[in-house]
């Protein structure tokens, strides 16, 4: 809509370009084959000024039809995330989807130390075919004090996330690797989040850990399961 408004006439273009709230939501989907997405993202970030951002990135190796250009495309994808991270202080919502053929660890490496003081919603679904091993604050180590809603897939290693002590809403999605089970102590760490109000589980990999785990849990804040 913001792009359409900026193309109506020169007067509307001037108004639209200088209206930061119009440029706070950026979406990239590799299925759509956007022309020059890096430049487009930079324009959005510049025009949004200091307003809070809603950023969405979806990467799929299946969209890269020729092996000869795959690395080039992934470098572009990585650049998009690098540019977004430079504006982490303005994140309000951040979504990153990638399938198992994308080297998602390279994305995660970018998140280690950043500070995201305004981030409230995080979706991180990497389609990783490796099961999670442990849990700890290895991502957003700089802090994410307002983060309250997290959406992950069942195979995204939980140790990639920040501490979950302030989470009120957690969604764990199913993937094609649903036969990979959470280690019990990882899932138990989730059940011990004292602020958790809404918990949605769409994968049996978590439920198996819950059903066969020896412990019982007090979840005083939980309202929706």
| Architecture of the domain made up of 24-212 | Alpha-Beta Horseshoe (3.80)
Map residue 22 onto helix, strand or coil.
helix
Place of tokens 């572009």: 76
Output the six-digit token pair for 214. 């020896």
Output the six-digit token pair for 81. 């995330």
> What pTM was estimated for this model as a whole?
0.83
pLDDT tens for each residue of the chain, 225 residues long: 555 456 556 666 777 777 888 899 999 988 877 788 899 999 999 999 999 999 999 987 665 553 444 444 667 778 899 999 999 999 999 999 887 666 666 777 788 778 999 999 999 887 665 544 444 556 787 888 999 999 988 766 554 556 677 899 999 887 765 555 556 666 777 778 889 999 998 877 666 655 555 567 788 899 999
Q: Phi-psi bin for 15: left (phi > 0), alpha (psi -120 to 50), beta?
A: alpha
């Amino acid at each position: 809509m913001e792009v359409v408004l900026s193309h109506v006439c020169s007067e509307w273009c001037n108004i639209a370009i200088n209206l930061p709230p119009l440029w706070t939501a950026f979406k990239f989907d590799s299925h759509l084959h956007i022309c020059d997405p890096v430049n487009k993202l930079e324009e959005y970030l510049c025009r949004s000024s200091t307003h809070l951002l809603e950023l969405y990135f979806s990467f799929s190796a299946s969209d890269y039809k020729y092996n000869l250009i795959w690395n080039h495309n992934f470098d572009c994808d990585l650049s998009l995330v690098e540019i977004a991270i430079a504006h982490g202080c303005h994140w309000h919502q951040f979504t990153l989807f990638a399938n198992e053929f994308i080297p998602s660890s390279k994305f995660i490496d970018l998140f280690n130390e950043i500070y995201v003081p305004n981030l409230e919603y995080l979706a991180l679904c990497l389609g990783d075919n490796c099961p999670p091993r442990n849990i700890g604050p290895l991502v957003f180590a700089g802090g994410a004090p307002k983060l309250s809603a997290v959406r992950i897939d069942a195979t995204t290693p939980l140790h990639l996330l920040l501490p979950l002590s302030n989470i009120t809403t957690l969604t764990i999605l199913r993937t094609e690797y649903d036969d990979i089970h959470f280690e019990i102590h990882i899932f138990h760490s989730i059940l011990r989040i004292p602020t958790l109000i809404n918990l949605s589980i769409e994968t049996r990999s978590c439920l198996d850990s819950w059903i066969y785990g020896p412990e019982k849990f007090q979840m005083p804040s939980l309202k929706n399961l």
